[in-house]
């Protein structure tokens, strides 16, 4: 099993829709979790950090399920500007720093 697994998508949703991505992880010792967005040919940018059960920032909600070892990202009222690849990453010591391969989202007009 990969250390971090994400559905690559693509997810194509209409503007205004709600969309959710899951990310499963194998390292049960991870204490915190991170979602990043990456636009085409750009650097990743930190979107949200999750340290307990969840976190909410405007239209974005991240939830953590430690028992099942997955984190989710929910985007409400999708905007065209939300089109990007979303990467998840659990925290860890140096050799455990792993990113998922990302989920591609396209918001359609």
Partner 1 sequence: NAGVTQTPKFQVLKTGQSMTLQCAQDMNHNSMYWYRQDPGMGLRLIYYSASEGTTDKGEVPNGYNVSRLNKREFSLRLESAAPSQTSVYFCASSALTGIQNQPQHFGDGTRLSIL
Closest CA to 34 of 8, 62, 74: 62
* Binding residue (CB under 8 A) for partner 1 from 32, 53, 56, 65: 32
- Select the span of 15-23, 60-68, 76-84, 87-95 touching partner 1 (CB under 8 A): 87-95
Interatomic CA distance for residues 89 and 45, integer angstroms? 12
85 burial (CB, 10 Å; 0-12 / 13-18 / 19+) is buried
Nearer to partner 1, 19 or 44 (CB): 44
**Lookup result for tokens 């099993």:** 1
Nearer to partner 1, 17 or 60 (CB): 60
Site for partner 1 contains 106 (CB under 8 A): no
**What mask of x and - would describe binding to partner 1 in positions 48 to 77, judged by CB under 8 A?**
------------------------------
Interatomic CA distance for residues 27 and 109, integer angstroms? 39
CB of residue 101 vs partner 1: minimum separation in angstroms? 4
Interatomic CA distance for residues 91 and 11, integer angstroms? 26
* Binding residue (CB under 8 A) for partner 1 from 11, 21, 44, 50: 44
Tokens of 78: 């999708």
Applying CB under 8 A, the residues found at the interface with partner 1 are 29-32, 34, 42-46, 87, 89-95, 97-102
């Amino acid at each position: 099993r990969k250390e971090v697994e994400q559905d690559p998508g693509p997810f194509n949703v209409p503007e205004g829709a709600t969309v959710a991505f899951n990310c499963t992880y194998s390292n049960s010792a991870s204490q915190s979790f991170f979602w990043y967005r990456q636009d085409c040919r750009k650097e990743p940018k930190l979107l949200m950090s999750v340290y307990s059960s969840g976190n909410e920032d405007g239209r974005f909600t991240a939830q953590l399920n430690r028992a099942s070892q997955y984190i989710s990202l929910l985007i409400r009222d999708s905007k065209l500007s939300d089109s990007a690849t979303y990467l998840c990453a659990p925290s860890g010591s140096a050799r455990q720093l792993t990113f998922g391969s990302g989920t591609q989202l396209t918001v359609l007009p």
